[in-house]
Chain A
Amino acid sequence: MTPSKTLKAPLIDDNPITVQILGICSALAVTTSVDTALTMSLALTIVLVAASGIISLLRRLIPREIRLILQITIIASLVIVADLILQAYAWNISQRLSIFVSLVVTNCLVLGRAESFAMHNPVLPSLLDGLGNGMGYSLILLVVGILRELFGAGTLMGVMVLPLRSEGGWFEPLGVMLLAPSAFFILGLLIWAIRTWRADQVEADEFTLAEEVR
């Protein structure tokens, strides 16, 4: 793959959330507002790039039997450092993200890229792959975050966009947008829209339905 393809493929064609359906838990939890979605995206992207780089650098040294535990140790250390940095320099947002930054450790996306890409590729492509996947994850988080904050609270990044009826405007906020299920609805609609546009992403049926069921 060319470097630009490594970088761009995870945005739409091989997006970690909408195609591989990874990282859903955090995509539900942190997207009630744009600023938390943005902070989480940044934290995950930085951890993913650093983890891919380090693991790719060590790929010839890591023994096969203990490769998963070593990858997790490296990823966990990076996550703890990222969490500490957030607590030191972005206290309020780190309180709102609560455990979801620490849970990046268990995000299949990070370990998935380490295991399937960084362990088999040189450092530079691995860094690009990490960056591309981080951006693919961020893209979806931002879209969901923008929709939920805009329609759930009438604001974007805390700035009033749709004037609320309770404050003399016309917009009645949709409370459901602030609840976790709305993220499922938005993700589902998003996946439907993308697969309508990119029909090659549609998975073949695992079995055919009987005639009378159709």
Chain B
Amino acid sequence: MARSSLLHRFLALSSDTRARVFGMALAVSAVCALVVSAAYVTLSPRIDANLAAERSARLDAMIANLPGLQDLLLDAGADNLESVIVDLRTGLAAVNPPDVLDSEALIASPETSTELSPVDDLAGLKRRPDFAEIFLLSSGRELVLAIFPVYGQGYQSTIKAYVALEGDLNTIAGFTVTEQGETPGLGSKITDLTWLSKWPGKALLDEAGALKIAVVRGQAQTDYEIDGITGATRTGNGVSAMMQFWFGPNGFGPVIDALKAGELR
């Protein structure tokens, strides 16, 4: 048979002929690629489920750590944390929100995302999803807390985080990173509680009302600066760019305007 004789001829080649070298290199890479891809495809639903569970656990942990919030929730009834799906093009509640609000799924389609020009694309997103789920907590008629999901390009991974703002929509109540793959021991310190605890009380805007929040190198000097992490300058820059984008005009800017004008509640 032709095929088996070809195989036999291949096996009979002296182990150093060029055909044998190329043949083995191809065969080993092909089989390994197949095995790795198969494992990824089979296991990724479970890994994604683990990631989602981690994300919601971290959001819960951030809410649990916000000072005074537990009492407010108890006063207002625990289900008062209201989820609103907003349309970032209008800043208002979405009329026909898509079922899946995962950013990767949203940016896959031009109908649910907007292409960003290189000038606007501060956080390295390429496309911005048009919909996002934010959480609002009100006490009576007054907004007490608003939680926004943000993401952006770090040094070597996509960083995903939640930012909680107080009722003035300027003071940061909490910041938590839900997903990152930065350098372990350096950039990955953005998930440490000691670093996250530097965020509450900081402000998005400076005295003149310009969006200034940033992770700086070294020690923070003002209310809108966060201490940098030594050895993780580019991770800090990524977080800064992410905040600049998402709280700017192409991110949640219109949503925050609508919230201030009382058009979202």
Contact = CB atoms under 8 A, between A and B. Distances in A.
A62 interface: yes
A77 B36 CA distance: 6
A47 B4 CA distance: 32
Interface in A80-138: 80-81, 84-85, 87-89, 91, 95, 98-99
B30 to A, nearest CB: 11
Nearest to A77: B32
A91 B11 CA distance: 43
Please classify the interface of chain B as helix (H, G, I), strand (E, B), loop, or mixed, using the class held by over half of its residues. helix
Please classify the interface of chain A as helix (H, G, I), strand (E, B), loop, or mixed, using the class held by over half of its residues. helix
Nearest to B40: A84
Interface in B43-83: 43, 46-47, 50, 53-54
B217 interface: no
A76 B184 CA distance: 20
A80 B36 contact: yes
B208 interface: no
B15 interface: yes
A73 B29 contact: yes
B235 to A, nearest CB: 15
A160 to B, nearest CB: 23
Contacts, number: 59
Interface string A54-70: 00001011111110011
Nearest to B29: A73
Given A73-B32, A81-B39, A66 B24 contact: yes
B184 A88 contact: no
Give the size range of A's interface with the partner.
Answer: 20 to 34
A85 B36 contact: no
A45 to B, nearest CB: 19
22 contacts: A58-B28, A61-B15, A64-B15, A64-B16, A65-B21, A69-B25, A70-B24, A70-B25, A70-B28, A73-B32, A74-B28, A74-B32, A77-B35, A80-B36, A81-B35, A84-B43, A87-B47, A87-B50, A89-B46, A91-B47, A91-B53, A98-B188
Given A58-B28, A88-B43, 4 more contacts: A64-B16, A81-B36, A81-B39, A99-B184
In the A-B complex, list the 6 residue pairs whose CB atoms are closest, starting with the nearest: A77-B32, A88-B46, A91-B50, A88-B43, A98-B184, A81-B39
